[in-house]
């Protein structure tokens, strides 16, 4: 066995050990850290008056959970200007958790919890990184827990230009490659393999591009470690080829899918990708002459099936003049469906913000996308 082969095999063993997800029925774990999760949270109850909200509000509360699973303190993000954090403070402080563990030892940790309340409602909804059944949901909030607990996830710092010739027919599913890339403690490329190949004609080119890419390693409690990064490269018809160097230069004119053509994950928990908008431009919808040009923001809960078709299932209750406009905008939304790490389409629920700007153009923000 060559020295390079020995190094690769040894590194793979370390990566699989450190980045493995627990067997079915166990809690998710990454780099020996498992976030806390709630013990059968009770129904929400409080004797306080619900805050008066102009629209649906979502905040992130950061809970300090001690080694016994008790909430010792709580802070919320800076976007809460409506008193939602104060409204749920007593409930969150009273929750009991299975404490976080690191290297098999129970430890104190910081836990992000999303709290959402619709205008006119009293009962908020709560989203945890890992729920009481051990499910990490779509994985987004789960992965957000690690940087809060002194674990930096591996990332792509720079990816070179590459060519592609995707089908510009937006009714068809886009092509993509899912690759596992092994990194050493300095973030240098060691090896790669293709896990899903939905675009065979360009696999060799992407493999070559990996040799010229730059990565940042995983850093656990101040120590850089070898790791495996899962790299999803998507070929969208709305992206210009050959591509520019990724990440793109920050600009208001950058195509939404240009930012999302390269995505990375430290593990394969949750979804590989949430739904992505097919329509182009992706972030605006032109109102017809039958609608008044209002200034308002409406938050809508949509359900997107495994074919990418959306329907409204909740959200704000806009005044009568806006209802038909909201229905038109939601009805125009068409998506590529969410996919799991086996490439299978999945159903998905998420929030969309519709910003009516006083002009014919409605700005659309898909709040599950970065």
What is the rounded CA–CA span in Å between residue 284 and residue 361? 6
State how far the Cα of 132 lies from the Cα of 121, in Å rounded to an integer.
Answer: 24
**Is the preceding peptide bond at 242 cis, omega within 30 degrees of 0?**
yes
Distance CA 307, CA 155 (A): 30
Could you give phi then psi for residue 106, rounded to 5 degrees? -70, 135
Look at the chain and count its residues. Answer: 370
CA angle 228, 234, 236 (to 5 degrees): 165
Q: What pLDDT is stored for residue 168 in this prediction?
A: 65
Torsion sign (Cα): 261, 262, 268, 271: negative
Please state, in angstroms and rounded to a whole number, the distance separating the CA atoms of residues 302 and 299. 10
- Beta strand pairing call for 100-102 and 33-34: antiparallel
| pLDDT by residue, tens only, the chain of 370 residues | 444 444 444 444 444 344 434 333 478 999 999 999 999 999 999 999 999 988 888 999 999 999 999 999 999 876 667 889 999 999 999 999 999 999 999 999 999 999 999 888 999 999 999 999 999 999 999 999 999 999 999 999 999 999 988 876 666 799 999 999 999 999 999 999 999 999 999 999 999 999 999 999 999 999 999 999 999 999 998 888 999 999 988 655 568 889 999 999 999 999 999 999 987 778 888 887 777 677 888 899 999 999 999 998 888 877 777 888 888 888 888 899 999 999 999 999 999 999 988 888 899 999 999 8
Q: Is the peptide bond before 211 cis (omega within 30 degrees of 0)?
A: no
Classify burial at 17, counting beta carbons within 10 Å of its beta carbon; exposed 0-12, middle 13-18, buried 19 or more.
exposed
pLDDT at position 68 is 97
What is the rounded distance in angstroms from the CA atom of residue 110 to the CA atom of residue 67?
11
CA angle 359, 360, 366 (to 5 degrees): 95
Query: Roughly how many angstroms between the first and final C-alpha of the chain, as a whole number?
Result: 44
Residue 119, pLDDT score: 86
Give the domain ranges of the chain.
Answer: 36-128, 152-271, 276-366
Confirm if 300 and 269 have CB atoms less than 8 A apart.
Answer: no
**SS3 per-residue string spanning 203-253:** HHHHHHHHCCCEEECEEECCEEECEEEEEEEEECCCCCCCCCCECCCCCCC
8 Å CB contact between 17 and 32:
no
Q: Extract the tokens encoding 23.
A: 């067997």
C-alpha distances in Å from residue 352, one per residue of 137, 193, 289, 292, 304: 19, 36, 23, 21, 12
Tell me the two tokens of residue 1. Answer: 């066995």
pLDDT computed for residue 251 by the predictor = 56
Assign domain 152-271 one CATH number from 3.30.1490, 3.40.50, 1.25.40, 3.30.1150: 3.30.1150
Number of H helices, E strands in the chain: 6, 28
Sign of CA dihedral 302, 304, 305, 308: positive
Helix (H) or strand (E) holding 204: helix 203-210
pLDDT at 170: 64
Nearest to 179 by CA among 149, 222, 143, 215: 215
Residue appearing with tokens 């098999």: 104
75's enclosing H/E stretch is strand 71-76
The pTM assigned to this predicted structure is: 0.86
Tokens of 151: 């674990």
Between CA 275 and CA 270 the distance in angstroms is 13
pLDDT tens digits for range 236-274: 988 889 999 999 886 555 688 899 999 999 999 999 999
């Amino acid at each position: 066995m060559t020295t390079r082969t020995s190094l690769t095999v040894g590194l793979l063993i370390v990566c699989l050990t450190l980045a493995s997800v627990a067997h079915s029925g166990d809690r998710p774990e990454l780099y020996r850290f498992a976030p806390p999760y709630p013990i059968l949270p009770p129904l929400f109850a409080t004797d306080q008056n619900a805050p008066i909200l102009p629209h649906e509000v979502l905040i992130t509360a950061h809970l300090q959970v001690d080694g016994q699973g008790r909430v010792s303190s709580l802070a919320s993000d800076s976007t809460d200007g409506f008193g939602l954090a104060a409204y749920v403070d007593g409930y969150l402080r009273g929750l009991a958790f299975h404490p976080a563990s690191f290297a098999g030892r129970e430890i104190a940790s910081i836990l992000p919890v999303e709290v959402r309340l619709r205008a006119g409602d009293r009962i908020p909804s709560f989203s945890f990184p890992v729920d009481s059944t051990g499910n990490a949901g779509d994985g987004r909030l789960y992965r957000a827990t690690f940087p809060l607990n002194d674990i930096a996830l591996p990332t792509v710092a720079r990816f070179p230009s590459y060519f592609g010739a995707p089908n510009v027919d937006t009714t068809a599913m886009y092509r993509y490659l899912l690759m596992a890339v092994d990194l050493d403690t300095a973030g240098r490329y060691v090896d790669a393999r293709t896990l899903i190949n939905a675009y065979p004609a360009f696999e060799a080119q992407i493999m070559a591009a990996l040799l010229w890419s730059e990565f940042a390693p995983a850093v656990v409690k101040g120590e850089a470690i070898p790791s495996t990064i899962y790299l999803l490269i998507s070929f969208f018809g709305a992206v210009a080829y050959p591509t520019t160097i990724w990440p793109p230069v920050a600009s208001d004119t950058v195509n939404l899918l240009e930012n999302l053509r390269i995505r990375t994950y430290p593990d394969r928990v949750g979804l590989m990708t949430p739904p992505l908008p097919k329509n182009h431009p992706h972030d605006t919808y032109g109102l017809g002459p039958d609608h008044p040009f209002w200034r308002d923001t409406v938050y809508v809960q949509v359900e997107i099936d495994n074919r990418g078709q959306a329907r409204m299932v909740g959200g704000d209750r806009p005044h009568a003049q806006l209802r038909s406009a909201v229905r038109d905008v939601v009805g125009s939304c068409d998506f590529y469906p969410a996919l799991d790490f086996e490439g299978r389409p999945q159903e998905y629920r998420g929030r969309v913000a519709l910003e009516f700007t006083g002009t014919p153009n409605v700005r659309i923000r898909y709040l599950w996308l970065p």
